[in-house]
Amino acid sequence: MNIKKHLLLCATPTKQKCFKGNEGQKTWECLKKTLKKFQNDPCTKNVHILRSKADCLRICKNGPILLVWPDGIWYEKVSPEKISEIFTSHIINGRPVEKWIFKKTPFLNSPRY
């Protein structure tokens, strides 16, 4: 299987410093629906994108945080409203959404699945 991207979303506030409320869970549900729609499209059925719900990505402010592998793009304050734009612009078209990025750490030598 050739994995194009792996999306890691910190969606479960486990520490006091984490975001409050259920924003992470709502964002996670939106990400799952968006990805399912993408995977059900006959034009993209051979493009593999993984998602993982993380308890903690060790960035304890401005969450929920979305990390896109292997690009090393870290998005902050991700919400259901932002998922669609991030997915369309960055994941499908390869153009990161600069206004929500707070860190870039590309995984240049990262092994592919």
| CA distances in angstroms from 71 to 8, 14, 25, 27, 87, listed in the order given | 12, 26, 24, 21, 14
Contacts of residue 105, defined as CB under 8 A and 6 or more positions apart, other chains included, come to 72, 74
Q: Which residues, other chains included, contact 83 with Cβ-Cβ below 8 Å and sequence gap of 6+?
A: 27, 30, 31, 34
Q: How far apart are CA 45 and CA 56, in angstroms?
A: 30
Q: How far apart are CA 14 and CA 63, in angstroms?
A: 12
Give, for all 113 residues of the chain, the pLDDT tens digit.
Answer: 667 899 999 887 666 666 677 888 999 999 999 999 888 877 777 778 999 998 777 776 788 999 999 999 999 999 999 999 999 999 999 999 999 999 999 876 655 54
Give me the domains of the chain, ranges plus CATH numbers: 3-104 (3.40.30.10)
Alpha helices (H) in 8-102, listed in sequence order: 23-39, 80-86
Q: Residue 10: which of 99, 76, 105 has the closest Cα?
A: 76
pLDDT tens-digit series, residues 45-73: 777 899 999 877 777 678 899 999 999 99
What is the distance between the alpha carbons of residues 64 and 41, in angstroms, rounded to a whole number?
27
